[in-house]
A and B are shown apart, each in its own frame.
Chain A
Amino acid sequence: MPPRIALGVHRALSPTSRVQFRVRRCASTSAASPEIYDVVCVGGGPAGLSLLAGLRASGATQGLKVALIEGQDLEKNRLPKDATLDSFSNRCSSLTPASVKNLQEIGAWSHANLSRIQPYQEMQVWDGVTDARISFDWDSARPLLSPRKPSQPTTIAYMIENANTTTTLLSRLEELGGVDMFLATKVDSIDLGTDTERVDLSSWPVLTLSNGKSLAARLLVGADGANSPVRTFAGIASRGFDYDRHGVVASLKLEGEGWGGPDHKIAYQRFLPSGPIAMLPLPGNMATLVWSTTPDRAAKLKSLPPNDFIAMVNAGFRLSPTDLDYLHTMPSGQEEEIAWREKHTPFKKHDIPMRVAHVQQGTVASFPLRMRHADTYTGERVALVGDAAHTIHPLAGQGLNQGQGDAAALVRTITHAVQTGQDIGSILALESYNSERYAENNAMLGVCDKLHRLYSVGSGPLVGIRSLGLRAVDAMGPLKGFFMSRAAGGV
């Protein structure tokens, strides 16, 4: 068990300069007894909302008293009602069929704005150094000569704006009701409760909120992101490293709907030594870019005027790593330089995404890439879900799905605990959540990390070996099917 701070020691979540003030205020509020909750979820992202919707939707857990605390005003994170289909948020994720199934089971999927979700049926992945290529689609991922089963799914994953996921879950939560929502409210501090004559809350986390309220949690769920204050409170360490890479994102409009037409959408990912560049399909001619690259190149890309940025993205899928190295050093004029260089670079246009025609204003942004894994997901009266528990390289689009998997598993664990009269905050009751999710997430974190490292190598014998391996897997339908079903979340 992680070390817990002794009773009465204040744990400030705010900068040191504010601690004094907080301590005094906390001392005055703790005199009043806190309101008792069964589950307090800190963080209203997709993982936290999915957990709450799951708890409210299941008969066994409906009787639990639950609260959500979210620092932001979630109304602002909602999909704009007047959003049109030629404008998309730059924050998109790939939802696996397993995640969609879970959203269906908790009754949320019917609230999704489906016109803004793009399923894709094929994935093209290739090596930017050798052009060794693997294609993923359920039709090629089967044993030779055996016919395709009609029941076999055709969708690899669904591209969805994070705002759409959030709105979907919020709508479901509103429909279900019964969650005490503390929105645009911050957690000022988390302390352990006190032992009074009537009741002993010394093992219970008591949260003091910015609105002055105080809540005691039988189970405190940290869905509060990579820098999770709940994780800090529980004394759970999170280990990992920064990749020294940034993910550059942008909402793009392509020249057409894609080579497969509207019913066969294709995702593309090219591994460059600086990191993978991915073009993921959205409805119509729209697509979302995720380009993992070095921080200085990310800064360079963000500083370019739209015409040069568009040219660089097109070059990212077409020109050699050596060309790209040079283009990043040019102070300006990328568009003309690329037009000239593309004339001398052979490529099959159907193997790469259609050309970018337009970049949506204000959508070019970047974020640092990290890998983190908490030592454990559970402590006494604490459970971590989503980014609070793990942060993954985005190259396989698994981050959001891992959080959804966590939420579903924690709902199952809590359900079983309620049905057998266990204290849902006890380490014993939470054990199955930790054992179910930890190993699975750890494996996925490891695979994505190894892939990143493998493809960071620009030359040498490893390049030949990895290309041989990629081509071999591409030729073996059943093996490819195995990888695909793992990536699909085990469906």
Chain B
Amino acid sequence: MNPLRHEFITRCRASSIDPPSKLRYLDIGCGGGIFAESAARLPGTLSVTAIDPTPEVLKIAEGHKKRDPTLVQPGKLAYLNASIEELPVPDTPADGYDVVSVFEVIEHVNAPGPFLENVIKHVKPGGWIVLSTIARTWTSWAVTNVMAEDVLGIVPKGTHDWNKYINEAEMREWFLKRGWGRTGGLRTMGVVYVPGLGWKEVPGGEGWGNYFFGVRRDE
């Protein structure tokens, strides 16, 4: 999954004219820091701020970070035990982040609308929100609720609330209504997990399963 995230971000940013050379990332719901670490290692990264409200996962993330001398350089990667609501909003929009990532978070949020309202305040004009989630379809219900939780038991019961899933069209509409992504800065990519091969891109997959969604703040 993680290499695909970077491939998706690269594709999103490729559509920006005159993108900044060194990027500042904000990773929301960073968990153990898989994405935050990899973003911090990229040569084009200035800094990564990664937040998560759960202290236990951040402890794991900090321990893992120490194993890479690149990441312990001052200012490279900072973990904050905070929710997005608690993170101070930038004074001016230009102080926001170039890339704000929200991976596999929205499907677990009770009120996605207000959550996203808080997220978008941290994106600088010309910057991107990139997120990944699952569409609310019969396929995703069967895979995440029935297979993963009831049959295979690989995730705890109650992890997924299918009713919270947001379809790609709904996501698109939500952002377009706020004036985001109107000048072509909007991309999606469907992905599927293939046992033995890992996560793979599937054209059109955003219509029925896991998908990436990227949208640019125009002003």
Partner of B38, one of A199, A218, A422: A422
Contact A421 B69 (CB under 8 A): no
Count of chain A to chain B residue pairs whose CB atoms are closer than 8 Å in the complex: 44
Contact A199 B7 (CB under 8 A): no
Most A CB contacts (10 A, CB to CB) among B3, B37, B40, B45 go to B3
Contact B68 A420 (CB under 8 A): no
Most B CB contacts (10 A, CB to CB) among A202, A218, A422 go to A422
Partner of B41, one of A195, A216, A423: A423
Chain B: minimal CB distance from A54 (Å): 18
Chain B residue contacts of A420, Cβ below 8 A: 2-3, 6-7, 38
- Please tell me if B43 contacts chain A, counting CB pairs below 8 Å: yes
Given A63-B43, A421-B40, the answer on whether A36 and B69 have CB atoms closer than 8 Å is: yes
Contact A421 B67 (CB under 8 A): no
Most B CB contacts (10 A, CB to CB) among A63, A216, A420, A422 go to A420
Which B residue sits closest to A416, measured CB to CB? B3
A residues 391-437 near B (Cβ < 8 Å) are 416, 418-423
A423–B39 Cα distance when bound, in Å, is 11
- Please tell me if A174 contacts chain B, counting CB pairs below 8 Å: no
- Please tell me if B66 contacts chain A, counting CB pairs below 8 Å: yes
Chain A: minimal CB distance from B37 (Å): 7
- Please tell me if A149 contacts chain B, counting CB pairs below 8 Å: no
Bits for A193-214, please: 1 = Cβ < 8 Å to B, else 0.
Answer: 0010011111110000000000
Chain B residue contacts of A416, Cβ below 8 A: 3
Chain B residue contacts of A198, Cβ below 8 A: 66, 72
Most A CB contacts (10 A, CB to CB) among B2, B69, B72 go to B69
- Please tell me if B142 contacts chain A, counting CB pairs below 8 Å: no
Chain B: minimal CB distance from A194 (Å): 12
- Please tell me if B42 contacts chain A, counting CB pairs below 8 Å: yes
Chain B residue contacts of A199, Cβ below 8 A: 66-67, 69, 72
A199–B38 Cα distance when bound, in Å, is 17
Most A CB contacts (10 A, CB to CB) among B2, B43, B63, B67 go to B67
Chain B: minimal CB distance from A190 (Å): 18
Contact B37 A421 (CB under 8 A): yes
B residues 59-82 near A (Cβ < 8 Å) are 63, 66-69, 72
A33–B155 Cα distance when bound, in Å, is 42
What's the tally of chain B residues with a CB closer than 8 Å to chain A?
A: 18
A418–B6 Cα distance when bound, in Å, is 11
Given A199-B66, A200-B66, the answer on whether A421 and B38 have CB atoms closer than 8 Å is: yes
Given A420-B2, A421-B37, A422-B2, the answer on whether A203 and B43 have CB atoms closer than 8 Å is: no
Chain A residue contacts of B43, Cβ below 8 A: 63, 418
Chain A residue contacts of B45, Cβ below 8 A: 421
Given A198-B72, A199-B72, A416-B3, the answer on whether A421 and B66 have CB atoms closer than 8 Å is: no
Contact A419 B67 (CB under 8 A): no
Chain A residue contacts of B41, Cβ below 8 A: 421-423
A residues 203-254 near B (Cβ < 8 Å) are 203-204, 216, 218
Chain B residue contacts of A421, Cβ below 8 A: 2, 6, 37-42, 45
A416–B198 Cα distance when bound, in Å, is 16
A153–B177 Cα distance when bound, in Å, is 60
A204–B45 Cα distance when bound, in Å, is 24
Contact B67 A200 (CB under 8 A): yes
Chain A residue contacts of B3, Cβ below 8 A: 416, 420, 422
A423–B45 Cα distance when bound, in Å, is 15
Bits for A315-351, please: 1 = Cβ < 8 Å to B, else 0.
Answer: 0000000000000000000000000000000000000
Partner of A419, one of B6, B39, B63: B6
Chain B residue contacts of A204, Cβ below 8 A: 67
Chain A: minimal CB distance from B20 (Å): 17
Chain A: minimal CB distance from B111 (Å): 31
A394–B40 Cα distance when bound, in Å, is 46
Chain A residue contacts of B72, Cβ below 8 A: 198-199
Chain A residue contacts of B63, Cβ below 8 A: 200
Given A418-B43, A420-B6, A422-B3, the answer on whether A203 and B67 have CB atoms closer than 8 Å is: yes
A251–B7 Cα distance when bound, in Å, is 52
Chain A: minimal CB distance from B60 (Å): 13
A204–B72 Cα distance when bound, in Å, is 15
B residues 1-19 near A (Cβ < 8 Å) are 2-3, 6-7
A216–B68 Cα distance when bound, in Å, is 11
Chain B residue contacts of A36, Cβ below 8 A: 69
Which B residue sits closest to A421, measured CB to CB? B38
Most B CB contacts (10 A, CB to CB) among A36, A202, A216, A419 go to A419
A418–B43 Cα distance when bound, in Å, is 8
A207–B70 Cα distance when bound, in Å, is 19
Chain B residue contacts of A195, Cβ below 8 A: 66
Chain A residue contacts of B40, Cβ below 8 A: 421
Which B residue sits closest to A425, measured CB to CB? B68
Bits for B18-59, please: 1 = Cβ < 8 Å to A, else 0.
Answer: 000000000000000000011111110100000000000000
Which B residue sits closest to A61, measured CB to CB? B43
Chain A residue contacts of B2, Cβ below 8 A: 420-422
A182–B43 Cα distance when bound, in Å, is 26
Chain A residue contacts of B39, Cβ below 8 A: 421
A204–B37 Cα distance when bound, in Å, is 17
Chain A: minimal CB distance from B1 (Å): 11
Chain A residue contacts of B38, Cβ below 8 A: 420-422
Chain A: minimal CB distance from B72 (Å): 5
Which A residue sits closest to B5, measured CB to CB? A420
8 closest cross-chain pairs (CB), A and B: A421-B38, A420-B3, A200-B66, A421-B41, A420-B6, A421-B42, A200-B67, A36-B69
Given contacts A421-B41, A422-B2, 13 further A-B contacts (CB under 8 A): A195-B66, A200-B66, A201-B69, A203-B67, A204-B67, A218-B68, A416-B3, A420-B2, A420-B3, A420-B7, A421-B37, A421-B40, A422-B38
- Measured CB to CB, the residues of B under 8 A from A are 2-3, 6-7, 37-43, 45, 63, 66-69, 72
Supply 6 A–B pairs (Cβ within 8 Å), ascending by A.
Answer: A199-B67, A218-B68, A421-B45, A422-B2, A422-B3, A422-B41
